[in-house]
Structure 1
């Protein structure tokens, strides 16, 4: 018998979690979704586009009624849940209906924050939070001409742009000295303000509203400094308040929002929370990407699949106003240093990147946000600031096309839905996609906040022009993923993963548990990254310690992790024949000293080992051979034999790498660290 799953909230977070649950285990639950609006699941973030006239209500609907019906989901709309009895596992609705559950997800979202201002409840005052608010503003524009938007943040500016499009005279009232003061610095905010003034917006900065004037209907604002602003429509855009009343009344621990742990569990068993109503590690997220990340974790918890814990998200913002391109992520103020700051007056672009402790901490882009997703990826992976020197491209000089061409296939284009460049390019090629809308429908890229739409368009343009695309054919690691060894290795190197399950989930494995091939390969690559983060041997006694163990380990390579089991040979008498030339790694005594060989193979196909170098002393030959094994460990693909590895990387590049004494010493340091760790694990 199916377990009963109830979801209070028909918004983006709750329904996305249900989508993930259905994908992982379609027959696990009998699902009921309770929503207080009369509409099916829609994209609340795109309401600004509806108001601006760029799209319709139908276009922002994520799941039509048919979607629920096809999956056997019971959808209760226009219903308000008022109480939960955790003891009997029942939900009581305002209409008198009772809904039983085995597992319950609270996805109640948030409401527009209503400040304590006299007159706030007058007719003519509205928030900008849902479809009804949007319809109220459109209706008001037909009878009135002057609007005031309280709030110069992201939502306030999007509402203001929509009201301009509706033909209204728009005044934006903000209590700070510059716009979007939580996301921008003064430079980018000033550029933004100048552009919006050109579009027709008028600004009242550092103004605090004391009351809303008017007898029966709002007629304007009075500020604390005694000045007044006449307006027929007042729009509130000053923040959100998590909807936690039902949780608080039902004995569930709340703070600013419903308190959850790393697996989205509340204080009451079998009750979970995701989205804007959830508070994780004292943080409440109002952006779609974190909400989707929470939903994925919870879906795996409820279906019994392995999952890494939710450890928080990097907040980022993209302003969705026609003619304006703004991106902001991470920390751009406070205890950070400015690592990069570029202004191009000709192109009207600005770029600023901050660092903390030598690692990228925040970024602001104005006028060209094509590098936004790459910088966000750096933030998530806590990338060292040195990468900025490698990737330095001035704003406005390359644009979206240059950013797309520079991206690796595994890099994220749509952060909300976790869609990579490679996934988009593959979809374009396989399904002959010709528009951003087709890409959205196929991959979900640009289907949530819409901030990546420009970048998705650039990927499409580059793919259709042949600048990117089906490129080189990559042999997948296994049947669970289209990704090759190099792509997976690079992803693991750039990001700290807690376990193999998280790697498989975030890189889009088709099988949550993987197969015997990738279950071995992923831990190997993670282990090599972990080794690279450890300190090697101290330089003072480096030679004494390395030479004391290298001979023993060289002839007993099972004591260290390797991409493939190898065979080694050492011939100490050049007058007697040996198998050095058909071994993976070998040393042979010769009159001039010692020859070091690599890449032999005694079975089919038989391969003769290649001469790497000749060393005068045995110790130096042993060190070179050990460094070669270590480089094989670090750069070979899991399951790749040494002869195949050598054919792939080439003998000459290998010599250049290993005959550089500094490189050789670093490799030997890492060899020694790995050998010590393996010995410790084995108890030797």
Structure 2
């Protein structure tokens, strides 16, 4: 057997890992691979740092290659270990931990460094860049205290940082040297529209402004401009550009100009060393966009695998981005000049702007704002130099009107070459998607996302991917394979929820407008679902719409078949007192309630109450401190308990106390469907914890947590999550599991159906095995509880213990409408 050669990769970022992926597809057994990464992280998508900053997604969701990928491919990952020197003669690299590693081939993928303005005060505490996840975490931590942020640089990164910080509650000012925001990608008109959008979000924008000094003693307090103004600041984000990170290569004696000089096969001046990504210079060009870097990675894969190819010949680039939720596209040369003709389309009401630049009957540039669907078509015309004289009159309306009359809307996608990039975030071209569909039998958008990553990041290319699927599968493609939420939309629950987050939709009218609902106000199926998704995703910004809830939730009672209602006051953990029982007895007598029943959840149900009596019934119950038992709700119903160590001779833990603690901690939290829990004090399981949504069995060594049981229409025993040692751990695991369910499940989907759909092992992986993710789920639940409208008749008392409540009689009963 031939001994494997040693490949060392400097850089665990997008370019380095993508190049290794390309190598593995060609020659998986050629090399023993070691990857050094200065960051203590696995490979993640830097393009998606902005949504992480804005709180739209988590770090885990932007990971490209998790730890399992390195293990499965026998790659040694040395994360948190920086290469500080290359000895090209000895074919060896040295690290900051004093280690040395030899290589047969070396790949440099060191990326770029943020450009820090050389002004006084640039080294003050509170001045940071925006290049990696650590920068995001520092910004997020600073934003927790509110205050003011100044972002220097009105390019893509700067504007995304500004939008994220504003979303986190900071007052934000953007300082930009040029007169037009994103002047490399947008013309003056599109820049104006973008500025108006930002200012509408409360972000101050100063263009044509020069930074003279960062003000402060030890920490930043402001930014002084050349015109004498000083902008107060608690945080300054430098987003004024990037520079290729070439120090290692230059010190190793490799040829460098602006970047590390490489040939068409991505080889440096040393044949044993290749380079790829933002750090390289190819034919005099340095690229900072994903598409050309992915093309470079393919060339690296060929070179390392000893595959004959034409190599990398350079790129004609276009830019398709989503800036603060607005789609923008640009390509080619759109500067003003002689011999050029502009074709412009504006739709002020919709905020759409299109400009096509023509010279000698050929497209030489394009700028699109607000509607970028036809961007790839214009880019294809530009690259191919196609004569557009016959289509001049309808060119601005896109390929659907090519030739003067409406055409097949998929014609433009069909005409794209296989090398045309469909997904810019992940560098996925048309050919890759088509091949995956054919070879793997993919029939749904979710399948394509899972196998190719196309449309899995920002989602702006989803429409293109769907058109490509329709063309490839023909009659075999049915978008209806995703069951719509209702007749008001073609979208399924998962896509609606994803778009609510991605588009930052924070009201039901906004969802219906942006997602093109077919009805004016929705229906009884979609409005409750939308209301839940908005309550869960934007707890601090969205006001719960009670009119979008089912009648039982609106009146805090269960409607019965004869039109009367039943009321179930909450009894924490099934424990009651003589005072509570007397109150219930008095209410039953006063209102002539015909039936009183003990429920399966260890509470008392009063049945046969007339609707007009509900306010008075709750007022009387409130005198004893009763709050709603949510017996009607898509939320936490009950936590059933046994007596545990308090009374039972077999009890191993205080099951009653833990049940009450869980119930008081979690009550009032809306969930996709009802949630029932139980805590049994010993394996005899008197509280029947093994058929509940979440259950706990107390054992000698601690608390055995179960989930995904059912005892209704479906009968199903629980799955075992694991054993924890303390009550605190049990509470954290249970709360995190429920929050994971809240964030991922479809409306009206019970825990056992959700867990079966995503996989029980996935739940265990995120909740039991991943402490950081578990803590994040827990923290998000606690955060959402601060804003929960737990009852129309009761609320948490500010400044007191979180389990104290005001009597409902002090607050009154709101009018409940049908």
**Which TM-score bucket, shorter chain as reference?**
0.5 to 0.7
1:213·1:221 contact (CA, 8 Å) conserved in 2? yes
Give the Å deviation of 1:385: 3.6
- Whether 1:414 and 2:423 are equivalent positions in the alignment is yes
Q: Evaluate the alpha carbon distance shift between residue 403 and residue 124 of structure 1 in structure 2; reply closer, same or farther with a 3 A threshold.
A: farther
Per-residue displacement from partner, 1:488-514 (whole Å, max 9, x unpaired)? xxxxxxxxxxxxxxxxxxxxxxxxxxx
- Whether 1:363 and 2:388 are equivalent positions in the alignment is no
Counterpart residue number, 1:13: 15
Per-residue displacement from partner, 1:24-59 (whole Å, max 9, x unpaired)? 011111111111000011101110111122111001
Structure 2 distance, partners of 1:77, 1:47, is 19
Structure 1 distance, partners of 2:170, 2:448, is 35
- Whether 1:441 and 2:450 are equivalent positions in the alignment is yes
Q: Evaluate the alpha carbon distance shift between residue 348 and residue 85 of structure 1 in structure 2; reply closer, same or farther with a 3 A threshold.
A: same
Structure 1 distance, partners of 2:254, 2:83, is 15
Question: How do residues 160-559 of structure 1 correspond to structure 2 at under 5 angstroms?
Answer: 160-333=162-335, 337-356=340-359, 358-386=361-389, 388-389=391-392, 392=395, 394=397, 404=410, 406-408=412-414, 411=417, 412=420, 413-415=422-424, 416-420=427-431, 423=434, 426=437, 430-435=441-446, 438-447=447-456, 450=458, 453-457=459-463, 459-460=465-466, 470-471=473-474
1:349·1:395 contact (CA, 8 Å) conserved in 2? no
1:144·1:233 contact (CA, 8 Å) conserved in 2? no
Question: How do residues 12-91 of structure 1 correspond to structure 2 at under 5 angstroms?
Answer: 12-91=14-93
Give the Å deviation of 1:444: 2.1
Per-residue displacement from partner, 1:615-648 (whole Å, max 9, x unpaired)? xxxxxxxxxxxxxxxxxxxxxxxxxxxxxxxxxx
Give the Å deviation of 1:74: 1.0
2:377·2:399 contact (CA, 8 Å) conserved in 1? no
Q: Evaluate the alpha carbon distance shift between residue 352 and residue 403 of structure 1 in structure 2; reply closer, same or farther with a 3 A threshold.
A: farther
2:437·2:443 contact (CA, 8 Å) conserved in 1? no
Q: Evaluate the alpha carbon distance shift between residue 404 and residue 162 of structure 1 in structure 2; reply closer, same or farther with a 3 A threshold.
A: farther
Q: In structure 2, the residue corresponding to 1:300 is in which secondary structure?
A: helix
Give the Å deviation of 1:355: 3.6
1:351·1:395 contact (CA, 8 Å) conserved in 2? no
Give the Å deviation of 1:112: 0.8
Q: Evaluate the alpha carbon distance shift between residue 37 and residue 360 of structure 1 in structure 2; reply closer, same or farther with a 3 A threshold.
A: same
Gaps in structure 2 of 5+ consecutive residues: 402-406, 477-818
1:127·1:235 contact (CA, 8 Å) conserved in 2? yes
Counterpart residue number, 1:142: 144
Structure 1 distance, partners of 2:135, 2:194, is 26
Structure 1 distance, partners of 2:387, 2:400, is 24
Q: In structure 2, the residue corresponding to 1:276 is in which secondary structure?
A: coil
Structure 2 distance, partners of 1:429, 1:25, is 21
1:80·1:93 contact (CA, 8 Å) conserved in 2? yes
Counterpart residue number, 2:757: none
Structure 1 distance, partners of 2:77, 2:124, is 34
Question: Which aligned segments of 4 or more residues in structure 1 are displaced greater than 6 angstroms?
Answer: 395-398
Structure 1 distance, partners of 2:390, 2:312, is 27
Counterpart residue number, 1:655: none
Per-residue displacement from partner, 1:511-554 (whole Å, max 9, x unpaired)? xxxxxxxxxxxxxxxxxxxxxxxxxxxxxxxxxxxxxxxxxxxx
Q: Evaluate the alpha carbon distance shift between residue 397 and residue 175 of structure 1 in structure 2; reply closer, same or farther with a 3 A threshold.
A: farther
2:433·2:448 contact (CA, 8 Å) conserved in 1? no
Q: Which has the higher contact order (CA 8 A, sep 6+)?
A: 1
1:419·1:445 contact (CA, 8 Å) conserved in 2? no
1:404·1:455 contact (CA, 8 Å) conserved in 2? no
Q: Evaluate the alpha carbon distance shift between residue 18 and residue 388 of structure 1 in structure 2; reply closer, same or farther with a 3 A threshold.
A: farther
Counterpart residue number, 2:154: 152
Counterpart residue number, 2:582: none
2:7·2:103 contact (CA, 8 Å) conserved in 1? yes
Q: Evaluate the alpha carbon distance shift between residue 333 and residue 313 of structure 1 in structure 2; reply closer, same or farther with a 3 A threshold.
A: same
Give the Å deviation of 1:426: 3.5
Structure 2 distance, partners of 1:38, 1:458, is 36
Give the Å deviation of 1:357: 5.3
2:434·2:468 contact (CA, 8 Å) conserved in 1? no
Q: In structure 1, the residue corresponding to 2:248 is in which secondary structure?
A: helix
Structure 2 distance, partners of 1:421, 1:93, is 37
Structure 1 distance, partners of 2:432, 2:248, is 41
Q: How many residues align?
A: 464
Aligned-residue RMSD, C-alpha: 2.7
2:414·2:468 contact (CA, 8 Å) conserved in 1? no
Structure 2 distance, partners of 1:116, 1:67, is 41
1:47·1:131 contact (CA, 8 Å) conserved in 2? yes
Structure 1 distance, partners of 2:115, 2:82, is 20
Give the Å deviation of 1:330: 2.0
Give the Å deviation of 1:227: 1.1
2:37·2:78 contact (CA, 8 Å) conserved in 1? yes
Give the Å deviation of 1:461: 7.8
Q: Evaluate the alpha carbon distance shift between residue 226 and residue 131 of structure 1 in structure 2; reply closer, same or farther with a 3 A threshold.
A: same
TM-score by length of 1: 0.64
Q: Evaluate the alpha carbon distance shift between residue 393 and residue 363 of structure 1 in structure 2; reply closer, same or farther with a 3 A threshold.
A: closer
Counterpart residue number, 1:568: none
Structure 1 distance, partners of 2:388, 2:356, is 9
Give the Å deviation of 1:432: 3.7
Give the Å deviation of 1:423: 1.8
Structure 2 distance, partners of 1:229, 1:426, is 53
Q: Evaluate the alpha carbon distance shift between residue 332 and residue 136 of structure 1 in structure 2; reply closer, same or farther with a 3 A threshold.
A: same
Per-residue displacement from partner, 1:402-459 (whole Å, max 9, x unpaired)? 8546420754422522135962994799334254xx43222221356x4xx2332454
Give the Å deviation of 1:333: 1.3
Question: How do residues 529-608 of structure 1 correspond to structure 2 at under 5 angstroms?
Answer: none
Give the Å deviation of 1:318: 3.0
Give the Å deviation of 1:239: 0.4
Structure 1 distance, partners of 2:102, 2:182, is 44
Counterpart residue number, 2:125: 123
Give the Å deviation of 1:468: 5.1
